[in-house]
């Protein structure tokens, strides 16, 4: 959705509420529903909205397919000429047309975690036999990483 901003910059008190849905070209998201408003309050034009959607991803540890409901805040001050503030909160809209979908997608990408887990304490897969350890132990002998063994030695000596 594109929003014509001229009237917001020109009149103190102008406000528009919006609620709509768009589909991202990136297939990992369900349709994204956006709800919020733009207003001019005492000469300051601001955007305040929330984007809700479901992400489909794989658990980074056990590779199970998961879907997560997410809600990302989209809050910015809108300006039509550069000011001295060097701040991501300020969005420069020189041509007076706000491309809201693009802005929402930027905020969504910034807020996505670097990896998804099916649950916080996912045990992952056994590196030896590949069994999903959430379903129980597999009986493989876990070898101690030699680097960890060195570290362990270091800590043991530290006590003396």
Residues that bind Zn ion (CB under 5 A): 59, 61-62, 118, 122, 126, 128-129, 138, 140
Instruction: Return the number of the residue (74 or 122) whose C-beta is nearest Zn ion.
Output: 122
Residue bearing tokens 């304490």: 121
Alpha-carbon radius of gyration of the chain? 24
Instruction: Return the number of the residue (47 or 62) whose C-beta is nearest Zn ion.
Output: 62
Whole-number minimum distance, CB 70 to Zn ion, in Å?
Answer: 18
Q: Are 16 and 37 in contact (CB under 8 A)?
A: yes
Instruction: Return the number of the residue (14 or 138) whose C-beta is nearest Zn ion.
Output: 138
Question: What phi and psi values does residue 89 have, to the nearest 5 degrees?
Answer: -70, -20
Local structure of 16: helix, strand or coil: strand
The residue among 47, 39, 34, 41 whose CA lies nearest residue 91 is 47
Whole-number minimum distance, CB 124 to Zn ion, in Å?
Answer: 6
Whole-number minimum distance, CB 131 to Zn ion, in Å?
Answer: 5
Q: Check residue 124 and give left, alpha or beta (phi > 0: left; psi -120 to 50: alpha).
A: left
Instruction: Return the number of the residue (129 or 149) whose C-beta is nearest Zn ion.
Output: 129
Whole-number minimum distance, CB 128 to Zn ion, in Å?
Answer: 4
Which pair of structure tokens corresponds to residue 111? Answer: 């807020």
Whole-number minimum distance, CB 24 to Zn ion, in Å?
Answer: 25
Q: Are 1 and 24 in contact (CB under 8 A)?
A: no
Question: What phi and psi values does residue 23 have, to the nearest 5 degrees?
Answer: -105, 130
Instruction: Return the number of the residue (49 or 62) whose C-beta is nearest Zn ion.
Output: 62
């Amino acid at each position: 959705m594109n929003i014509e901003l001229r009237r917001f910059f020109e009149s103190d008190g102008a406000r528009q509420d919006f609620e709509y849905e768009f589909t991202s070209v990136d297939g990992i998201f369900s349709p994204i529903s956006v709800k919020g408003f733009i207003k001019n309050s005492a000469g300051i034009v601001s955007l305040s909205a929330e984007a809700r959607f479901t992400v489909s991803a794989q658990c980074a540890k056990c590779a199970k397919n998961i879907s997560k409901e997410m809600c990302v805040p989209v809050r910015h001050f809108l300006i039509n000429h550069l000011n001295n503030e060097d701040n991501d909160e300020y969005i420069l809209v020189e041509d007076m047309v706000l491309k809201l979908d693009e802005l929402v997608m930027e905020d969504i990408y910034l807020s996505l975690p670097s990896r998804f887990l099916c649950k916080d304490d996912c045990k992952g897969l056994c590196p030896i036999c590949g069994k999903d350890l959430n379903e129980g132990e597999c009986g493989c002998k876990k070898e101690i990483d030699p680097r960890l063994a060195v570290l362990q030695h270091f800590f043991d000596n530290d006590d003396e």
